[in-house]
Amino acid sequence: KGICNAEQATAEDKAHNYEAAAQHYMNAADWLMQAMKYGVMNAQMKQTLRPKIESYLEQAKEVLKEAIILPVKFPQIFQGNRKPWAGVLLYGPPGTGKSYLAKAIATECKSTFVSVSSSDLLSKWLGESEKGVKGLFELARERQPCIVFIDEIDALCGQRNDTDFELRRVKTEFLVQMQGAVTDNSGVLLIAATSVPWALDTSIRRCFEKRIFIPLPGVNERAAMFKTHLGVNTYHTIKEHEWMQLAQKSEHYSGADIAVVCREALLRPIRRLGSATYFKRVPNPKPCGPRQLWLVCSPGDPDAQELTLDKIKSDELCEPPVSMSDMLAALATQKRTITGNDLLDYQKFTHDFGRDTS
């Protein structure tokens, strides 16, 4: 629509219909800004996300397939009274992969995926926020079948405050657009994520017919996440059975917590380089570059040579491996961010309003 409006504006401009041209130019700018702003996921991005998505797909289990994937892949069997869900709410502790799950769903369904955060839709200018909500759903209808993902929905649709008239108008527009998506069966599926589901306005919560709890990762998922976040190309000496040991020691850690642990572990060998005084020569495993590299070692190593980092050429340094001791030390310094009281709050909301996938 943005390109179409731009072409119409050019034609009106050439015909000296400047008022009509100006309107088309404004419409073109609006549509093109929405297209850039709302981050439509392309094929290359889907492929890039695949390794991270796989560990979260196991977590989704059958409930997400039933609620989202099957209706999009097989619309012909969801006719009449067997209607697909129009709104799905993913809720759970921060860092549990709710955003990745939404992307995984779009990848599985091969649908257009439009992703926004609440901050993308909120504007300080009067009336612009409602316009943003309306434009989002119009863009989704243009790209149907389309999955719209709104992150941090609680910031946009929290409980109503009589003094905040701007947010009340945004919620009203959101409700209107959601009702339209439900009644006209437009091929638009709305998925929203929140870490504080109890903060949602009651009428907004009702719009999400399916409310699915995304729990903290289980032990097998944590083991896979440690591997993923450390990186497939990272030089390490961690044995296969040690991944499970790390997973068992990280109970109640979120995916985001595990990512921080791995980032800390990756930096620990680098810190040792600065204070190292002994290195040894090792063959270069890569076909290009110098035949031998310098690897940090202990003074007792039979091949050790007294040397400091500043005396080594940049292309002659061997990447120091990440060890199990590095991982354990990083795990000891990075505490989990989810408390027991937080988990009780989610359990209560799930009991009252949601569905557990664990």
Per-residue pLDDT of the chain (358 residues; tens, 9 = 90+): 554 555 676 676 677 776 776 666 556 545 444 444 444 444 544 454 445 545 555 555 566 777 777 877 787 888 777 877 778 899 999 988 888 777 777 777 777 888 888 777 777 666 777 888 888 888 888 887 788 888 888 887 776 555 566 677 888 888 888 877 666 656 788 889 999 999 888 888 888 888 888 888 889 889 989 998 998 889 899 999 999 999 999 999 998 999 999 999 999 999 988 889 999 999 998 888 899 999 999 999 999 999 999 999 989 999 899 999 999 999 999 999 999 899 999 999 998 887 655 5
- Give pLDDT, residue 69: 76
Confidence at residue 184, expressed as pLDDT on a 0 to 100 scale: 64
Burial of residue 189 (number of CB atoms within 10 Å: 0-12, 13-18, 19+):
buried
CB 238 within 8 A of CB 322: yes
Q: Which amino acid is at 108?
A: E
Question: Can you spell out the DSSP letters for 116-175?
Answer: EEHHHH--SSTTHHHHHHHHHHHHHHHT-SEEEEEESHHHHSBS--TT-HHHHHHHHHHH
Query: For residue 68, what is the DSSP state?
Result: I
Find all residues with CB under 8 Å of 216, minimum gap 6, and list them. 92, 93, 96, 252, 253, 254, 338, 343
- CA 222 – CA 161 distance, rounded (Å): 40
Residue 53: which residues within 8 A CB-CB, separation 6 or more? Answer: 100, 103, 104, 107
d(CA 198, CA 207): 14
Q: Which residue has the tokens 């063959």?
A: 283
Contacts of the segment 37-42: beta carbons below 8 A, 24+ positions apart? 37/116, 37/120, 38/114, 38/115, 38/116, 38/120, 38/136, 38/139, 39/114, 39/115, 39/116, 40/112, 40/113, 40/114, 40/143, 41/103, 41/106, 41/113, 41/115
pLDDT at residue 49, as a whole number: 46
> What is residue 264's predicted lDDT score, i.e. its pLDDT?
96
Structure tokens at 224: 């896979």
8 A C-beta contact, residue 156 and residue 121: yes
Residue 23 identity: Q
Give the global pTM.
0.73
Q: What is the pLDDT of residue 28?
A: 54
Q: What's the half-sphere exposure (Cβ side, CA atoms, 13 Å) at 236?
A: 25
Token pair for residue 300?
């007792």
Tell me the C-alpha distance between 136 and 34, whole Å. 7
Q: Give the domains, in start order, of the chain with CATH numbers.
A: 38-215+351-356 (3.40.50.300), 219-335 (1.10.8.60)
Residues 96 and 58 sit within 8 Å (Cβ to Cβ): no
pLDDT at 312: 92
